[in-house]
Amino acid sequence: MPPRPRSFAFCGGAYGDEGKGRLVDQYVSDYAKQGPVVVYRDNGGSNAGHTVAFDNTKVALHQLLSGTFIKGVTTILGKGMVLHPGDLLEEIATVKAATGGTVPAKILIDEMAVVLLDTHRAYEAVLQDFQTGNRGTTGRGISPAYVDVLLRHPIRMRDLKPFNKEKITKHYRLYQAMCAGLGQKLAEKEVLTLAGPKQVIGSEAAFLKRVQAQAAELEQFISGVFDVLQRAWTDKKTACVFEKGQGIGLDVRWGVYPDFTASETTFSGIFSSTEGIVNPRDIEIRAGVIKATYMSSVGIRKLPSAMDEALAHQIREDADEYGATTKRPRDVVHIDIPSLSFFAKVGDVTHLVATHMDIVYKDTPIKVCVSYTKNGKTVPYRPDQKYLNTVKPVFKQFAPWDVVALRKAKTRAELPVAARKYIAFLEKAIGVPMLMITTGPKREEGILL
Ligand code: IMP
């Protein structure tokens, strides 16, 4: 079957924070000039983060989708997401403050999406104190909320509309008992909120009152979304854009333990979240976004392509390599082709987008890990830290390009020769064509190849 025209999906091609939001925003606003647009997200929650510039204000979005600031666009927060009602209301209020009153896009929250509450965040912190479970997470309660699904007691958005007091009371009591089992008092725990100040969980009554008030405010956005999605997907005039959270290297199945998130970060998650309406294989362009000249991540993983700290520090400062949600400094390593090819394969990506093409330094060759060896033999990437500790990176060097000339280019042919050679190398080595590169954070600093 030919791919569905006007359909586009973006995922992180490595460890997240590659700058997907800005690309989605760009595609959505271009499509919005031509006709109706639906933007859909199927995974993660407030562990994601990206900044959208609106007029002269910058707004950090975590759960709301790129396209929220574009009038007429429909954004769908899908079944596969884990959503925190308090944070959502906070984000909606921030968007309204930036626009001077209303949210330009339509927000639809799937009634089947999972509700993530302060109880999940508290329990994640309790696990961390117990020195298990929560190692290096964003602290947003993501895993406990997904675990609720596996344990067959998730709270779904439809439990907030109408407010299911009995179910949410039981939820509080369960988390209270789990925290007590690990020697802590749920009511006294303090957790992160998007608004800044920490939130004390409080007594059962206080917790229920808070969630009920949030539910009442959120109700207007909660509905069944499958009819809307089915109609949009069938009507070829509607552009359908899929925005994934995180990156393939953080996938629950493909990530390196323990630095992965609890959701499906590959396009395959779209199939289950849309209950089969959208087969990701039918999406015309499935782009994996990578950083052109290096890789970065947060966590305790040790990637084979370690970089000299002086260069890593320089890149961290120049490219603002600090976690979008947690502000933690990211580890910076040389670009690693064995892992990126693996991610492209398991993620089923059809195209690459390379961001940060401007992060190159005159007289400093770009060092690329082109393969791994073990006992003198070439070996592949595998998502297993113990295994990765045993492989040796093989590096190849590429000439840097002139950033001024890079920024002047509007087409592939106008790019400096060294940049063109490097892009051709990435395409061949990863086995996927390059759709676009970016040379800076602004909208106009992108070149379609
Ligand atoms: P969690 O998603 O909070 O459970 O965190 C699990 C791991 O994924 C941690 O190493 C996080 O730093 C990482 N992570 C989660 N979301 C993102 C993201 O949007 N960008 C980059 N890293 C992320």
Domain-terminating residue out of 195, 219, 243: 219
**326, 443: one domain:** yes
Domain-terminating residue out of 219, 234, 255: 219
Domain-terminating residue out of 184, 219, 254: 219
Q: What is the pLDDT of residue 448?
A: 87
Overall size of the chain counted in residues: 449
> How many domains, the chain?
3
Which of 132, 148, 246, 263 should be mutated for ligand 1, with most atoms under 8 A from CB?
246
- Nearest ligand 1 atom to the CA of 298 is 12
What is the mean predicted confidence (pLDDT) over 385-398? Answer: 97
Please provide the average confidence, as pLDDT, over all residues in the chain: 94
Range in 244-253, 315-324, 412-421, 437-446 with the lowest mean pLDDT: 437-446
d(Cα 283, Cα 118) in Å, to the nearest integer? Answer: 36
**141, 237: one domain:** no
Residue 326 has pLDDT above 80, yes or no: no
How far away, in angstroms, is 84 Cα from ligand 1 center?
Answer: 16
| Per-residue model confidence as pLDDT tens digits over 343-387 | 999 999 999 999 999 999 999 999 999 999 999 999 999 999 999
Assess whether the previous peptide bond of 365 is cis (omega < 30° from 0).
no
**178, 253: one domain:** no
Contacts of 351 (CB under 8 A, 6+ apart): 285, 286, 287, 288, 432, 433, 434, 435
**320, 426: one domain:** yes
**95, 9: one domain:** yes
Label each residue of 383-432 as H, E or C. Answer: CCHHHHCCCEEEEEEECCCCHHHHHHCCCCCCCCHHHHHHHHHHHHHHCC
Q: Residue 356 in contact with residue 323, Cβ under 8 Å?
A: no
Beta bridge partners of 38: 74, 240
Q: What is the pLDDT of residue 142?
A: 96
**207, 263: one domain:** no
d(Cα 84, Cα 89) in Å, to the nearest integer? Answer: 9
| Per-residue model confidence as pLDDT tens digits over 158-180 | 999 999 999 999 999 999 999 99
d(Cα 429, Cα 423) in Å, to the nearest integer? Answer: 10
Q: What is the pLDDT of residue 20?
A: 87
Residue 137 beta carbon below 6 angstroms from any ligand 1 atom:
yes
Residue 134 has pLDDT above 70, yes or no: no
State pTM to two decimals.
0.95
**Angle, vertex CA 18, rays to CA 14 and CA 19, nearest 5:** 155
Q: What is the pLDDT of residue 194?
A: 83
Q: What CATH number is attached to the domain comprising 76?
A: 3.40.440.10
Q: What is the pLDDT of residue 323?
A: 79
**329, 438: one domain:** yes
CA dihedral over 285, 290, 291, 294, signed as positive or negative? negative
Residue 115 has pLDDT above 70, yes or no: yes
| Per-residue model confidence as pLDDT tens digits over 265-296 | 999 999 999 999 999 999 999 999 999 999 99
> Within 42-164, where are the H helices?
85-99, 118-129, 142-150
Residue 192 beta carbon below 6 angstroms from any ligand 1 atom:
no
How far away, in angstroms, is 47 Cα from ligand 1 center?
Answer: 6
How far away, in angstroms, is 227 Cα from ligand 1 center?
Answer: 32
Q: What is the pLDDT of residue 411?
A: 94
What is the mean predicted confidence (pLDDT) over 124-144? Answer: 87
Percent of the chain at pLDDT > 90 equals 83
- Tell me which residue has its CA closest to atom 5 in ligand 1: 137
Residue 261 beta carbon below 6 angstroms from any ligand 1 atom:
yes
**383, 281: one domain:** no
Residue 400 beta carbon below 6 angstroms from any ligand 1 atom:
no
- Tell me which residue has its CA closest to atom 19 in ligand 1: 48
- Nearest ligand 1 atom to the CA of 299 is 10
**56, 168: one domain:** no
| Per-residue model confidence as pLDDT tens digits over 36-60 | 999 999 999 999 888 777 777 788 8
- Tell me which residue has its CA closest to atom 20 in ligand 1: 16
**99, 231: one domain:** yes
Residue 255 beta carbon below 6 angstroms from any ligand 1 atom:
no
Residue 250 beta carbon below 6 angstroms from any ligand 1 atom:
yes
What is the mean predicted confidence (pLDDT) over 76-99? Answer: 96
Q: What is the pLDDT of residue 133?
A: 66
Q: What is the pLDDT of residue 150?
A: 97
Q: Residue 441 in contact with residue 354, Cβ under 8 Å?
A: no
d(Cα 172, Cα 193) in Å, to the nearest integer? Answer: 18
Assess whether the previous peptide bond of 258 is cis (omega < 30° from 0).
yes
Q: What CATH number is attached to the domain comprising 298?
A: 3.90.170.10
**97, 151: one domain:** no
Residue 265 beta carbon below 6 angstroms from any ligand 1 atom:
no
Note down the domain range covering 172: 114-219
Identity of the residue numbered 61: L
Residue 143 beta carbon below 6 angstroms from any ligand 1 atom:
yes
Of the pLDDT bands very low, low, confident and very high (cuts 50, 70, 90), residue 148 is very high
Beta bridge partners of 332: 296
**97, 237: one domain:** yes
Q: What is the pLDDT of residue 343?
A: 98
Which of 22, 63, 81, 137 should be mutated for ligand 1, with most atoms under 8 A from CB?
137
Residue 65 is given by DSSP the state P
Residue 258 beta carbon below 6 angstroms from any ligand 1 atom:
no
Residue 299 beta carbon below 6 angstroms from any ligand 1 atom:
yes
Residue 131 has pLDDT above 90, yes or no: no
- Nearest ligand 1 atom to the CA of 49 is 19
- Tell me which residue has its CA closest to atom 15 in ligand 1: 47
What is the mean predicted confidence (pLDDT) over 399-419? Answer: 96
How far away, in angstroms, is 405 Cα from ligand 1 center?
Answer: 35
List residues with catalytic annotation. Answer: 17, 50
